[in-house]
A = this chain, B = another copy of it.
Amino acid sequence: MSSRGCSLPGVAGHAVGKRPYHHGNLRRAVLDGALASIAAHGPAALSLRDVARRAGVSHAAPAHHFADKAGVLTAIAAEGYTLLADAMRDALADSGGDLVASGIAYIRFALGHRAHFEVMFRPELYRAEDPELASARQAAADVLLGAVRDTLGDASDDEVWGGVLAAWSFTHGFATLSLNTNFTPARADDIEAAVRQVGASVVRLTAAGAFGPEV
């Protein structure tokens, strides 16, 4: 019962692959409505009845495409990881493997797809064991791992893993704080400059020995 609505749309696409009956494409409409609501009021305030109302369907209609509220958020998280992986892959390809470029893509994604991003990192809201989500998540992690590996050149797995932790922590923290606090909202239109300026600060702090002895 619970797997029916979710598994039928299949692996293929997100927008198509489902024939319109009464509504047209209620699955997409529910996702888009939920995303708009989350972007405006946060994931905690999401109401499926409200989303259904805005889509012009009955309050129980969404349950036939997503088993329950957690199902909607699971789909959003999976979509988010796919979009994020694509954005980072594109940035790496365009920049010739620049780690900072992929970090900027990460931050741009967080700010531009706030709703996706906020859901992705609240695992208590969705079903983290969902296979579609898990694979999308793994794909995004692989992009980051490859980028760090390429940057460090010849490095042990431990060194690469440490680099992933470092790069991911920094980028994720910057993105999260930008979303949560009044963290330089003026420069939101020029993320690249802000990130590169902060990158320069990392170099300066490193030179000052803040992160440990130099090599």
- A contact residues vs B (CB 8 Å cutoff): 41-45, 99-100, 121-125, 148, 151-153, 155, 159, 162-163, 165-174, 176-177, 180-181, 183-184, 194, 196-208, 210-215
- Chain B residues within an 8 Å CB radius of A45: 124
Q: Determine whether the beta carbon of A100 is less than 8 Å from that of B177.
A: no
Q: Determine whether the beta carbon of A205 is less than 8 Å from that of B99.
A: yes
Given A44-B43, A121-B180, A170-B173, A214–B207 Cβ distance below 8 Å? Answer: yes
Copy number in the complex reads 2
Q: Determine whether the beta carbon of B176 is less than 8 Å from that of A203.
A: no
Q: Determine whether the beta carbon of A169 is less than 8 Å from that of B173.
A: yes
| Residue with the highest number of chain B CB atoms closer than 10 Å, among A165, A180, A213 | A165
Q: Determine whether the beta carbon of A41 is less than 8 Å from that of B124.
A: yes
Among B180, B181, B210, contact of A151 (Cβ-Cβ < 8 Å): B210
Q: Determine whether the beta carbon of A201 is less than 8 Å from that of B125.
A: no
CB nearest neighbor in B for A176: B176
- The 23 sampled A-B contact pairs (Cβ below 8 Å) are A42-B122, A44-B44, A123-B180, A148-B205, A151-B208, A155-B204, A162-B201, A162-B204, A165-B194, A165-B198, A165-B201, A166-B170, A166-B198, A166-B201, A168-B177, A169-B170, A169-B174, A170-B173, A170-B202, A172-B177, A202-B202, A202-B206, A204-B215
- Chain B residues within an 8 Å CB radius of A208: 151-153
CB nearest neighbor in B for A125: B44
- Chain B residues within an 8 Å CB radius of A210: 99-100, 151, 167
Q: Determine whether the beta carbon of A201 is less than 8 Å from that of B43.
A: no
Among B165, B166, B204, contact of A183 (Cβ-Cβ < 8 Å): B165
Cα distance A99–B213 in the bound complex, in angstroms: 14
Q: Determine whether the beta carbon of B196 is less than 8 Å from that of A122.
A: no
